[in-house]
Amino acid sequence: MRGQVLRVTGVLAAALMLAGCAAEPVAPVAAGTSSSAGFSDEEMLALVTTAYERYQQVADAVAIDGGFDAARYEAVATGDALAEALRSAQQYVDAAAHAVGATTVVSVELQSFDEQGHEATTYVCMDVDQVDVVDASGQSIVREDRPSRLLFEVQMEHHGGALKVAQRELWDESC
């Protein structure tokens, strides 16, 4: 049984961290610039921040609900991010686990966006210190050495009438 708990802990830790490799960071957009579509970097930052916060609210809700009703992700994610979110939700269901608490978006840094404002790359710092993942008996299955803050590189795309998370990769275990 302990081996199964450790395996599930590893799977859920991987789901929570969404670890991945990434390339060198993209240079941030200069303050006060604007695209031909009329978006200044401040306006685009506001759009991507709102879109990411919606994504994170859904992610927290699905995790708290033990992975059930994961179709909620379709409103806030697309592409690789949607596929990964659905896999993560299924891992919660399979492990009979659920989250307690919610993550906090600490900061969103806009790295780049296209001229039409349909795609953007950001860094998002997340505080996961107030989140625990527990099994059916209420026992925590989070690693004791889990970092409290995680930095993600997030790609967003305009899809289905909304800006959605298209890819989300762990960039660093601190921010």
Q: Domains in the chain and their CATH numbers? A: 2-172 (3.10.450.50)
Show the tokens assigned to 142.
């989070």
Query: Closest Cα partner for 60 from 93, 101, 95?
Result: 101
Mean pLDDT of 152-159: 96
pLDDT classification of 161: cutoffs 50, 70, 90:
confident
pLDDT classification of 131: cutoffs 50, 70, 90:
very high
pTM for the full predicted model: 0.79
Q: Is the pLDDT of residue 140 over 90?
A: yes
Q: Is the pLDDT of residue 12 over 80?
A: no
Cα separation, 5 vs 11, whole angstroms: 10
pLDDT classification of 17: cutoffs 50, 70, 90:
very low
Q: Is the pLDDT of residue 34 over 60?
A: no
The residues, ordered by sequence, that sit 6+ positions from 67 with a Cβ below 8 Å of its Cβ are: 88, 89, 90, 91, 92, 93, 94, 97, 98
The residues, ordered by sequence, that sit 6+ positions from 77 with a Cβ below 8 Å of its Cβ are: 55, 58, 85, 164, 165, 166
Show the tokens assigned to 105.
């978006």
- pLDDT at residue number 23: 31
- Average pLDDT value over all residues in the chain: 82
Cα separation, 12 vs 146, whole angstroms: 12
pLDDT classification of 132: cutoffs 50, 70, 90:
very high
- pLDDT at residue number 116: 76
